[in-house]
Amino acid sequence: MDMGQKGEETRGRLLDATRDLIESGGYFGAGLNQVIATSGAPRGSLYFHFPGGKDQLVAESVRRAGREIGQVVQDLAETAPDTVTLVTAVLGLLGDRLEASGWRKGCPVATVALEMAAISDPLQEVCSEVYGSWEGSLRDRLVADGHPEAADVAVTVLALIEGALLLARAHRSREPLDRVSRQITALL
């Protein structure tokens, strides 16, 4: 294994550890010592890969998580015959993930957005970028389905999904996801 590959693996472990910690404990629950302990990476590698410190680490972790979920949505979009089927499948996957995590892992962006968007411009921008990307994917699919108000409906559907994840986490129940899934089906 060459040094470049090893470095990328270490960087990936640091980003994955950060994602897990911020999803379950928020920005403030993801201390650098916890990231190092969770990732198993040497302390020096954290500062080597993320010279901008914690905010750079969190921003890149959120961006990476956003791309991963975006890719899952794209993959589902390739097989789903319509937007309703796509959104129902996404809600099902996110519900499975949330339940499997013991109700700790809802949206990898929401906690950072709620805690940091008002006080950190770089983190606000990353959260906005990720949400914008997801909204764009939904809008594109709605346009392809011939929906007349694709942009408005895309932001509405995204807000419903995010709200359902928050409520499911708070109630430790899939019921909010199931209810929102039924309402999205009726809306579309």
Give the pLDDT of residue 7: 81
Q: Is the pLDDT of residue 11 over 80?
A: yes
Q: How far is CA 83 from CA 3, 69, 97, in A?
A: 44, 16, 21
In this prediction, residues 56-61 reach a mean pLDDT of 96
Give the pLDDT of residue 155: 97
- Cβ-based neighbours of 183, under 8 Å, separated by 6 or more: 160
Q: What domains can be seen in the chain, in order of their start residue?
A: 3-187 (1.10.357.10)
Q: pLDDT band for position 48 (50/70/90)?
A: very high
Q: Convert the pLDDT of each residue in 74-114 to its tens digit.
A: 899 889 999 999 999 999 999 999 999 999 998 889 999 99
Give the pLDDT of residue 97: 93
CB 18 within 8 A of CB 27: no
Q: How far is CA 180 from CA 32, 92, 156, in A?
A: 36, 11, 11
Give the pLDDT of residue 183: 96
Q: Is the pLDDT of residue 39 over 60?
A: yes
Q: Tell me how crowded residue 90 is: count the other CB atoms within 10 A of its CB.
A: 23
Give the pLDDT of residue 102: 95
Q: Is the pLDDT of residue 1 over 80?
A: no
What the block records as the tokens of 50 is 């993320």
Q: Convert the pLDDT of each residue in 129-185 to its tens digit.
A: 999 999 999 999 999 999 999 999 999 999 999 999 999 999 999 999 999 999 999
Task: Please name which of 72, 70, 50 lies closest in space to residue 122, comparing C-alpha atoms.
Answer: 50
